[in-house]
Structure 1
Amino acid sequence: MTRVLVVDDEPQIVRTLRINLKARGYQVDAAPDGRTALDLAARYHPDLVVLDLGLPDLDGVEVIHGLRGWLDVPIIVLSARHSAAEKVTALDAGADDYVTKPFGMDELLARIRAALRRAVPAWAAPVVTTADFTVDLAAKRVTRDGADVRLTPTEWHVLEVLVRNPGRLVSQRQLLREVWGPSYETETNYLRVYMAQLRRKLEPDPPRPRYLITEPGMGYRFAE
């Protein structure tokens, strides 16, 4: 049975999540604050965490850092904080997705299912195949319609980071740091240029991308 840890200090939200998750076969643990969440995670090793950021003792980002020190499972932030900066901070800390309150239960459940599907080591699927192109991570090769797609080293590195995180929102800062280094974390114009180049080479309709998706103000997502 898949185990979900819900971390929220609003009893009504916890109750609603518990009822809906249990009705779909999940086992649910609940924590009203950050320290209890870290303790429950250490004791029960959840398969996924749903985390509010506005906790009474620790900030949710601190909890993410605490979990990411040893736990490699999906973390979905569920928060009333709407600003792009706060979303980016949570994603950079290690969250896999971000849902704002008020939220639709069906959407949240879909995101939980998607996050659990993605929780497979990247090395388990070294070849990623879409309807329009194939990415061989081991061979560092991209093919489209049976022919190799010529990518520059930087284009490849951007694509590789996204493909290794399928469906997951990769923040602008994380992408810049991984491809160019820590001193380039504010150079968002780099990403616009290279994403445009990748879309021209890979997308069937570059102005309306199907695979290399922009999340305005936050980052990018690879949709299989």
Structure 2
Amino acid sequence: MAHVLLIEDDDLIRCALTRALERLGHRVVGAGSGTEGLTEALKGGIDIIVLDLGLPDIDGIQVLKMLRASLSIPVVIATARDEETQTVTALHLGADDYVIKPFSVEHLDARMTAVLRRTQPDPLRPPLRVGDLMVDLNAHTASLGSRLLELRPKEFALLAYLVERSGRMISKAELRAEVWHNAFGVTDKTVDVHLSWLRRRLGESAVNPRYLHTVRGVGVKLQAPSAA
């Protein structure tokens, strides 16, 4: 089970979630503010962070930015904020998932387990190659030829999903489900924006594609230029 850092300012919610997660076998460290949460995260040894956005000292979005500036620990946002802009902003900044209060501890546990399963390295898993494009899931890096690609976390997750399924047409509904895990507020437009960013990283465009080929109303397929 996981070592969880729970950053939640409401004492009753934090205590109840801590007890419930511990009953499921997790070890939980609680923090009642953004500053306290950042201090605990920097100590190390944390497997996953559950982060509330409505914190008393530092807004949770700012805490997420600071976490992502120095740490790669998976982060699940758990908050009462259900505005689409908040969800999209958090996902753009590197949140791995987003759950809206109220939720059951079983639901949170399932989302945490899914995040950990896809973010923990597998030492036996070789890098993925499609043409000159290489994605190393263990090192969390991607390169095109000799050029290292600078990708945001969700861009990397999207690229990795498509590379693993190279040559197959993937629908936006599948991408929403498998890459964004049907997070609240994620739409086809969200997917389109990330695909556009990814194309720019790869040095191509929708008009002149090399690796990413979109069929309107069907989906997107990643394949080597020679296979196009």
How far apart, CA to CA, are the structure 1 residues paired with 2:196 and 2:123?
A: 23
Percent of paired sites with the same residue: 35
How far apart, CA to CA, are the structure 1 residues paired with 2:50 and 2:157?
A: 28
Indicate whether 1:160 and 2:159 are aligned.
yes
Deviation by residue 1:80-120 (Cα, 9 ceiling, x = unmatched): 11111110000111100000011122111101111111123
How far apart, CA to CA, are the structure 1 residues paired with 2:157 and 2:117?
A: 23
Where 2:120 maps in the other structure, the secondary structure is coil
Gaps of 5+ in 1: 128-136, 142-156, 182-189, 200-224
Match of 2:197 among 165, 172, 177: 177
Where 1:180 maps in the other structure, the secondary structure is helix
Alignment partner, residue 129 of structure 2:
138
Deviation by residue 1:26-57 (Cα, 9 ceiling, x = unmatched): 11111111111100111133100000011111
Check whether the contact 1:10–1:32 (CA below 8 A) recurs between aligned residues: yes
Alignment partner, residue 110 of structure 1:
110
How far apart, CA to CA, are the structure 2 residues paired with 1:192 and 1:77?
A: 31
How far apart, CA to CA, are the structure 1 residues paired with 2:90 and 2:213?
A: 20
Under a length normalisation based on structure 2, what TM-score does the superposition of the two structures give? 0.63
Where 2:57 maps in the other structure, the secondary structure is coil
Distance 1:192 1:90, change over 3 A: farther
How far apart, CA to CA, are the structure 2 residues paired with 1:93 and 1:54?
A: 17
Q: What letter corresponds to residue 106 of structure 1 in structure 2?
A: E
How far apart, CA to CA, are the structure 1 residues paired with 2:21 and 2:81?
A: 23
Q: What letter corresponds to residue 6 of structure 1 in structure 2?
A: L
- Number of paired residues? 169
Q: What letter corresponds to residue 196 of structure 1 in structure 2?
A: V
Where 1:91 maps in the other structure, the secondary structure is helix
Where 1:103 maps in the other structure, the secondary structure is coil
Check whether the contact 1:161–1:175 (CA below 8 A) recurs between aligned residues: no
Q: What letter corresponds to residue 91 of structure 1 in structure 2?
A: L
Question: Within 5 Å, which residues of 2 pair with 1:1-224?
Answer: 2-121=2-121, 125-126=125-126, 137-140=128-131, 160-163=159-162, 167-169=178-180, 171-172=190-191, 173-180=193-200, 193=215, 196-198=218-220
Distance 1:158 1:43, change over 3 A: closer
Q: What letter corresponds to residue 219 of structure 2 in structure 1?
A: Q
Shift of 1:23: 1.1
Alignment partner, residue 207 of structure 1:
none
Check whether the contact 2:21–2:27 (CA below 8 A) recurs between aligned residues: yes
Check whether the contact 1:34–1:58 (CA below 8 A) recurs between aligned residues: yes
Deviation by residue 1:38-80 (Cα, 9 ceiling, x = unmatched): 0011113310000001111111111111111221121000011
Distance 1:117 1:32, change over 3 A: same
Distance 1:18 1:161, change over 3 A: same
RMSD over equivalenced CA pairs, Å: 3.5
Where 1:76 maps in the other structure, the secondary structure is strand
Check whether the contact 2:158–2:179 (CA below 8 A) recurs between aligned residues: no
Distance 1:159 1:48, change over 3 A: closer
How far apart, CA to CA, are the structure 1 residues paired with 2:163 and 2:79?
A: 26
